[in-house]
Every structure is written in structure tokens, then in C-alpha cells.
Amino acid sequence: MKCPYCENTESKVIDSRPVDDGNSIRRRRECLACTRRFTTYEQIESVPLVVIKKDGKRQVYNRQKIFSGILRACEKTPVTVAQIENVVQDIEAELFNSMDSEIPASYIGNLVMDRLKKLDAIAYVRFASVYREFKDVSTFMEEINGLIQSSKQDKTE
């Protein structure tokens, strides 16, 4: 670490403490040459996550896309923003823990649908109708009937 004042590369750490977000560390350092103090921040270097779209194109993962898609599906439902945030965090944790740097968009879409199915049936159907691109009423009804059947099974268990 170069001193910002004299550009000496030797310094000692005087104080270390985590930053409010818990994802980085603030360090107070003192230059061994000029004895001036300066602050540095350390963060974990993360590998960027790449999403493989249906057409084969690749995009950098964007958390906001998942959040806004779920938010749109949950409009006029009792689902809170905090619940949506928890779902997004849960999905992100699974994606980053998978240790894959490239994830198919279909995998992410299925994760979202699994979480929405448990959270709110209406939001699930809304998201599924867009994600699965229902072409007609019969495919839409098949999805709803599947949801009804799984709901009945959950109640009997």
C-alpha cells in the first residue's frame, strides 16, 4: 500500500474495524517514512456472475432485474417489500454459493417461481405467465390446475 503523501510502500496498521455494511474493513495506517496517517478500505473481491440468456447471449447479473420482476408480480398482493427483499437475498445466496460463474437465466427464473409459489399464489401465477410465455388460455389453466393440486397436497400433509 503506497502512502498517498510520500508514496512509500511501507506502512503499519494502527486500527482495524468493520464498516457498517459488514462487507468491508476500514484500516488506519501510518507511513513508516513520513509518519503521516491515512485510511484504507478492504473488500472481498467477488467474481462477477454472468447470466446466459435463452438466445445464448451473456449479461452481467443484475439484482435489480430480479427485484423489479418480483415486485411487479406482487403488485396489489399482501406481500411486503421486506418479504420481496428476503426472497431476492435468498436467491442471490443460492446463486453465489453455487460456485458457477455462468448461470442460465432459466435456472434463475425457476428459483424465482419456486420462492413465489411459497410466498403468494397470485404473484406466482403472474410471474409464471410472463416467464413461461403462455400462448393460450389452456396452458394458463394447466399451470393454475397444477398450483391447485400442489396446494391440496400441502394441506393433506
Within-domain flag for 6: no
- Is the Cα torsion angle 149, 142, 73, 84 positive or negative in sign? positive
Q: Is 116's pLDDT higher than 80?
A: yes
Model pLDDT, residue 150: 76
Q: Is 9's pLDDT higher than 90?
A: yes
Within-domain flag for 137: yes
Is 76 in the same domain as 29?
Answer: no
Q: What is the pLDDT of residues 141-151, one digit of tens each?
A: 777 787 777 77
pTM across the whole model: 0.63
Q: State how many domains the chain has.
A: 2
To which residue does cell 443460492 refer? Answer: 94
- Percentage helix, strand, coil, to 5, in the chain? 45, 20, 30
Within-domain flag for 68: yes
**Average pLDDT value for residue range 24-37:** 95
Residue-number span of the structural domain to which 18 is assigned? 11-43
Is 65 in the same domain as 30?
Answer: no
Q: What is the pLDDT of residues 42-83, one digit of tens each?
A: 887 677 899 999 999 999 999 999 999 999 999 999 999 999
Cell numbers for 50: 454472468
**Which parts of the chain fold into alpha helices (H)?**
63-73, 81-97, 105-119, 121-131, 137-156
Is 89 in the same domain as 104?
Answer: yes
